[in-house]
Amino acid sequence: MQVALRHPHLTGGEFDLPPTRAAFEDHVASVGLTDGLRFHPGDFFVDPLPSADVLVMGHILHDWSLEEKLMLLRKAHQALPDGGALIVYDSIIDDDRRTNAFGLLISINMLIETQDGFDYSGADCQSWMAEVGFRDSYVERLSVRTQWWSASNEREDC
């Protein structure tokens, strides 16, 4: 929503479980973006992700097991066109697992709150992205507590 507010020429949407539709539409209407944003109902464990030039997974991957993380990244890779991008936004653990106490505490929290969820390092995420077919990725630090990853969907075979 913040991207659409800053760049009104862009269109976008949210892919989420159907019961969240009303909250999404109310919020979109409250900021005047009903023409540019739409709701895509679905379950990312069952349904394909909607096709888009850019997909964002914000605080999604840490909730799930490694197998589920890889499945979601594969689905993102499949939904993106050649040249598309995936942005993963999460609280992360530093690669050396020594300095980001917040990331480590969030990982412990995920182990308490979820069956198999865990936080991960930038290097972990980049290796998973490469495993599912993304060619280029980088880690960008947004604050002391969060980082995001971007991966290009340019495929070797295209």
Both structure tokens of 5: 């507010």
Name the catalytic one among 9, 40, 59, 62. Answer: 62
Angstrom distance (rounded) from CA 137 to CA 103: 21
Angstrom distance (rounded) from CA 15 to CA 89: 16
Angstrom distance (rounded) from CA 143 to CA 154: 28
Residues 103-133: b if buried by 16+ CB within 10 A, e if exposed = bbebbeebeeeeeebbbbbbebbbebbeebb
Angstrom distance (rounded) from CA 66 to CA 61: 9
Angstrom distance (rounded) from CA 65 to CA 50: 22
40 in active site: no
Run of H or E residues at 54: strand 54-58
Q: Which residues are catalytic?
A: 62
